[in-house]
Chains A and B, each alone.
Chain A
Amino acid sequence: MIPVQLAFKVLRADRRTRTATALTALGVAVATGLVLLLLSLPFATQARAERAVWQEPYGSQGDGPPTLLVEASTDFTGGEQIDRIDVAALADGIELPDGVPELPGQGEVLVSPALYQAINRLPAEQLADRFPGTIIGTLGDDALRFPEQMVAVVGHSPDRMPSTANERAGFVPASAAEVDPVLSLLAGVGVVVLLVPSLVLVASSARLIAARRERRLAALRLAGATPRQVVTITAAETGIAAVVGALLGWAVSPLLRMLAGLVPWDGGGWMAGDFRVPAGLTALVLVVVPVLVVLAAVLGLRRVVNNPVGAVVEHTPKPLRWWRLLALPAAGLFFFVAIDRGDDATMVLLGLALMIGSAILVGPYVTSVIGGFFVQRWRKPSGLLAGRRLRNDPRGAYRASAGVVLAVFTGSMALTLMPSFDAMAGGGGTYRDSVLMVESAGERAGEIADRTNAALARYGVANRAIAIPEVVLQTGGNSGYFALVMTCEDAVSVFRVQDGCDGPGVYSDDLTDVDGLQVSGSYQGQGVPLPPDTPVKPITQTDSDGSPPVIVDPSLLPAGITAEDGRVVVDTAGANPEVVRTALLGAADGASIYSRGVYLGGQHDQLDDLRRVTIIGVTVAAVLAGCSAAIATAGSVMDRRRTLGALMAAGTPTNVLARALRMEAALPALVATIGSGLLGMIAGLGLFSLFQEGKDNVAAVLSPWLAAPVVLGFAVALLAASVCTPALNRVRAEPLADE
């Protein structure tokens, strides 16, 4: 009981101990809150997936005979995705997913609240006409991926379902849901890159009174306290702050989760209860975080435990060993071997964590080397003071930069990945961005085009749909060229190709003649030779993203060829694309419509999601780093209060001491930020190679913006170091006052 009483007594009596304890508690609270938030991410994505898995047409199902037909497709309105589920009951008593009030029958539609609002807001030809039937109700939150998800459940009789519908024994159950792997990876990276700065913040705030505590404990040891008693007193002192901080972090974690819920991902936000952490895991965090903090404090007591006299007199620290440098290549090797294997995200994350962790060993050694350089070469007293400090206590000096190192590492990694992902974007075929396309059976393409054109005429839109049969130019041995049957002029109107039409022919950027080629309706179909002297003409794409399809003019198609597959395309240029989409979708019975514009927009949205979470993550890491550096600088002044006070009493100007302290912070920060910037870039290139698989033609992009985290990190370190001035001013007010 005495240690705890002593801890409380010190807390009551000493203002600076109270301040440091409050800061330690704050650091622990931030760390605990962040850890709880990051741990909740996989659960949040799991909750999303469980709510929406019933919308999938394929996946786990119960035993027994089929009870329903399901088809799913995606549609868009105003760039927002609509998930459409076409269903038809094959039996009674189908178990409905949570949030689905009833199964719509033929001519009935269920919609989500967001879609219901959009339907009421927009003219029928822009949205409502896509869903044949009467809206009989709305879906509950339990059936939606996120609150603003737009979903339509369109009921049919079994004979009116699309031929591609899947026969199932009930909807896919929630238990079959799988977590979004990208978000899981991001959560893992987030834990690695944010947990360390949080712990650095805790360590920095705990260091505020470390020297003072060490002297007090040394006095207790000299007064007869046993090492065990000293350890217990320290555990009690830090334990109070750590437990209060952990509880505070737990108390504010709902607020953090609420803020996280406002960050959209994959099309929408989150439900209020998504970010949850199981009670057992929460309890574990609330125990482990304080225990780690107490352990760190107790381990820092080695000197006073071993030799109390050594703690009260000044000592010359042992120089750091060069082998610390080996930690970095070792961690890098692990990381790149994990990347090379590429089959285990956990190992990649572990490699990343090891690379970050290696900075703890390498950073102080490099700081010591810098200090040594300045001790040899100093010209001004600030250089001498800074050099000696760095050489004498490289661990303490590096501590101020440790958080910044992490933030710069993360920022550089992100800035390597982002432009590279941007460069990877694109693809999506050769269609013009304004073209809508729907695939269909070959024999239905003409009918769909006709119905679309009828609807377009009804809506007063001049654009017209074109039915395009798909054929194969067989080269023999079940191989051949896929070709579209359409005129060159039509091809020029829907594809990104140059207008080089020169009458009927086979247009290709690859074929030079069609000798020996036979045309058929499918790869397995019977081939028929093309007419003799069929001209082969070049067709050239206007950009390098993809290559144009082979075009066969309809007049050259031999009689008797029936295309197994086909497609219907319509250009929306000059018309309201939503109206054109409604016309095509209604004609195609809800089949998915492909649009390169929407495809590229989707890529853009994904990159935006990634950018958003990266910016948030890096900002949080930078703020934590800045706070750690500022606290470490203030702690450095507090640790040396007596010496600095004596120098001031002897007339040393505050600005000279402030310059020395800023230099102390700036020198290791400069080297550390450049080093961590380079490391972040290398780690980013490693991670990019994971995503690059199969896209060897896309190279990583290294832009000059990569220097930004280094410059900003250095600026944050300098800004944080500027707190030494107010701290010194406090010393100057009473330079010789006892501590």
Chain B
Amino acid sequence: MLSGRGLAKRYGEQVALAGVDIDIHTAEALAVVGPSGSGKTTLLHVLAGILRPDGGTITLHGQRIEQLSETKRSELRRTEFGFVFQQGMLVAELSAEENVALPMLLGGARRKDAIAAAREWLGRLGLAGREAARPGELSGGQAQRVAIARALTHRPKVIFADEPTGALDTVTGGDTMNALLSAASEAGTAVVIVTHDVELAGSLPRSVVIRDGRIAEQVGVRR
């Protein structure tokens, strides 16, 4: 579904990616692991179209996306991808349901429909009753689940998660990860998770290990 071939990216003299080939298949869950500075987050940003690679190609359903304009890539990210970040990155002023509804609203959905979808996803992620709470009133785990709901509301093809449990304790992190994976599975959405957590990576069907900007190892098979 989403493929990268020969992906290269440099930051000045520093090589972040040095010819990475990777495939993400429909509804699969993939972990990207590796030491700090190995290029994990850069790979995620390049695959998601946030950064443009210096070399290589990215295709989504056979369509090249790295050559698209920033506007087109933004539209792609808004419609085809979802994102979960370490800190949640919720809009502090908006309530939980408004945060979740935001991507749909930005895509032109009606207020009523967007809010209804947001409430549904919040309920599925165990946050019923917390719709009106602001991010500051939520626990870390709850905030991450709001971020997961936000990433899933518009039914994306792929969710990119960058250290989604990095700021959570082990138990909360585990619960949050389960919530993400089961919700994505229900929606038929692929999940790409960048993590330091070897245990978490091991629990996923497939993981790739990155070192010095290259894929050093692939573990597991496509489910």
Instruction: Tell me the A residues contacting B by CB distance below 8 Å.
Output: 313-316, 378-381, 384-385, 388-389, 391-393, 640, 642-643, 645-653, 656, 732, 735-736
Assembly CA distance A643 to B75 (angstroms): 18
Query: By the criterion CB–CB under 8 Å, are A653 and B89 in contact?
Result: no
Query: By the criterion CB–CB under 8 Å, are B83 and A649 in contact?
Result: yes
Q: Does B184 contact A (CB under 8 A)?
A: no
Query: By the criterion CB–CB under 8 Å, are A388 and B94 in contact?
Result: yes
Query: By the criterion CB–CB under 8 Å, are B98 and A388 in contact?
Result: yes
Residues of A within 8 A of B111 (CB): 378-379
Query: By the criterion CB–CB under 8 Å, are A314 and B134 in contact?
Result: yes
Partner of B70, one of A385, A389, A732: A732
Q: Known contacts being A642-B87, A736-B50, is A652 close to B78, with CB within 8 Å?
A: yes
Which chain B residue has the least Cβ–Cβ distance from A313? B136
Which chain B residue has the least Cβ–Cβ distance from A654? B74
Assembly CA distance A379 to B108 (angstroms): 10
Would you give 11 A-B contacts (Cβ < 8 Å), ordered by A? A314-B92, A381-B105, A388-B98, A643-B92, A646-B85, A647-B89, A647-B91, A651-B78, A651-B81, A653-B75, A656-B106
Which chain A residue has the least Cβ–Cβ distance from B76? A651
Q: How far in angstroms is the closest Cβ of chain A from B39?
A: 15
Query: By the criterion CB–CB under 8 Å, are A735 and B105 in contact?
Result: no
Query: By the criterion CB–CB under 8 Å, are A736 and B106 in contact?
Result: no
Q: Known contacts being A389-B93, A642-B87, A735-B50, is A650 close to B98, with CB within 8 Å?
A: no
Q: Report how many A-B pairs have Cβ atoms within 8 Å.
A: 84
Q: Does B137 contact A (CB under 8 A)?
A: yes
Q: Hey, what's the 0/1 contact readout for B127-148 against A, CB within 8 Å counting as 1? A: 0000000111100000000000
Docked complex: B22-72 residues within 8 A CB-CB of A? 45, 48, 50, 70-71
Assembly CA distance A651 to B75 (angstroms): 6
Assembly CA distance A646 to B106 (angstroms): 14
Residue tally, chain B, CB below 8 Å to A: 34
4 additional A-B residue pairs with CB within 8 Å, beyond A384-B102, A648-B74, A649-B83: A379-B111, A388-B94, A651-B103, A652-B78
Assembly CA distance A653 to B72 (angstroms): 10
Residues of B within 8 A of A379 (CB): 111
Assembly CA distance A238 to B27 (angstroms): 53
Which chain A residue has the least Cβ–Cβ distance from B110? A379
Query: By the criterion CB–CB under 8 Å, are B90 and A643 in contact?
Result: yes
Query: By the criterion CB–CB under 8 Å, are A385 and B94 in contact?
Result: yes
Query: By the criterion CB–CB under 8 Å, are B91 and A651 in contact?
Result: no
Instruction: Tell me the B residues contacting A by CB distance below 8 Å.
Output: 45, 48, 50, 70-71, 73-79, 81-83, 85, 87, 89-94, 98, 102-103, 105-106, 111, 134-137, 151
Query: By the criterion CB–CB under 8 Å, are B83 and A646 in contact?
Result: yes
Q: How far in angstroms is the closest Cβ of chain A from B147?
A: 9
Assembly CA distance A615 to B195 (angstroms): 62
Q: Known contacts being A314-B136, A656-B106, is A388 close to B93, with CB within 8 Å?
A: yes
Residues of B within 8 A of A313 (CB): 136
Query: By the criterion CB–CB under 8 Å, are B136 and A651 in contact?
Result: no
Query: By the criterion CB–CB under 8 Å, are A651 and B74 in contact?
Result: yes
Residues of A within 8 A of B83 (CB): 646, 649-650
Query: By the criterion CB–CB under 8 Å, are A314 and B135 in contact?
Result: yes
Residues of B within 8 A of A391 (CB): 93
Assembly CA distance A392 to B92 (angstroms): 9
Query: By the criterion CB–CB under 8 Å, are B94 and A650 in contact?
Result: no
Q: How far in angstroms is the closest Cβ of chain B from A312?
A: 11
Partner of A316, one of B91, B94, B106, B137: B137
Residues of B within 8 A of A642 (CB): 87, 89
Query: By the criterion CB–CB under 8 Å, are A392 and B93 in contact?
Result: yes
Partner of B93, one of A378, A385, A656: A385
Q: How far in angstroms is the closest Cβ of chain B from A402?
A: 20
Assembly CA distance A379 to B70 (angstroms): 26
Assembly CA distance A645 to B102 (angstroms): 15
Tell which of A313, A379, A381, A646 has the most Cβ of chain B within 10 Å.
A381
Which chain B residue has the least Cβ–Cβ distance from A391? B93
Which chain B residue has the least Cβ–Cβ distance from A639? B92
Assembly CA distance A213 to B145 (angstroms): 29
Query: By the criterion CB–CB under 8 Å, are A381 and B50 in contact?
Result: no
Which chain A residue has the least Cβ–Cβ distance from B78? A651
Assembly CA distance A656 to B70 (angstroms): 14
Assembly CA distance A98 to B57 (angstroms): 87
Residues of B within 8 A of A315 (CB): 136
Query: By the criterion CB–CB under 8 Å, are B89 and A646 in contact?
Result: yes
Tell which of B79, B85, B94, B111 has the most Cβ of chain A within 10 Å.
B94
Which chain B residue has the least Cβ–Cβ distance from A380? B105
Partner of B79, one of A389, A648, A651: A651
Q: How far in angstroms is the closest Cβ of chain B from A597?
A: 65
Query: By the criterion CB–CB under 8 Å, are B92 and A381 in contact?
Result: no
Q: How far in angstroms is the closest Cβ of chain A from B134?
A: 6
Query: By the criterion CB–CB under 8 Å, are A381 and B102 in contact?
Result: yes
Residues of B within 8 A of A314 (CB): 92, 134-136
Q: Known contacts being A651-B77, A651-B79, A735-B50, is A385 close to B89, with CB within 8 Å?
A: no
Residues of B within 8 A of A653 (CB): 71, 74-75, 78, 106
Query: By the criterion CB–CB under 8 Å, are B91 and A643 in contact?
Result: yes
Q: How far in angstroms is the closest Cβ of chain B from A110?
A: 74
Assembly CA distance A152 to B74 (angstroms): 79
Query: By the criterion CB–CB under 8 Å, are A652 and B106 in contact?
Result: yes
Residues of B within 8 A of A656 (CB): 106
Residues of A within 8 A of B98 (CB): 384, 388
The 6 closest A-B CB pairs, nearest first, are: A651-B78, A314-B136, A646-B89, A651-B77, A388-B93, A381-B105
Which chain B residue has the least Cβ–Cβ distance from A655? B71
